[in-house]
Amino acid sequence: MAGTRLSSKLAVARWAMETLAPRVQAGGQYHVAQPHTPAYYVLNEAGCHLLLAPNVLRLPDDPEASMLLDVSMEHGGKVMSVSWFPSQPWLPPHISAMKPGDWMVRLGWRETA
């Protein structure tokens, strides 16, 4: 059962990386880096707040910068946070938050059998 849940989370994370990240970068509002925040894109869609931060150093000892994608509900808080190394797509993403809910369907998730 635990493997099924992880597999499902990984599938949702991969879908978000492949579909939501480009959508946010293409249609989101760009915010320049500030002294204590990285540059990022923001897109509000379907009652969700999507934030994409390219080129962030997640941990001080990471070998390179990551992409970070956060999804929050307009009313209800963060439902997903995933980061990955764009130059190493074969590595599994780091999923620090993943809550089930209709946000996935709102943003286009279609579960396959």
The dihedral sign for the CA sequence 61, 70, 40, 109: positive
Q: Model pTM?
A: 0.88
- The three-state secondary structure class of 73 is strand
Q: What is the pLDDT along the chain (113 residues), one digit of tens a residue?
A: 344 454 589 999 999 999 999 999 999 999 999 998 899 999 999 999 999 999 888 777 878 889 999 999 988 899 999 999 999 888 899 999 999 888 999 999 887 64
Q: Where are the domains of the chain?
A: 2-106
Q: Which residues contact 24 (CB under 8 A, 6 or more apart)?
A: 41, 42, 43, 50, 51, 52, 69
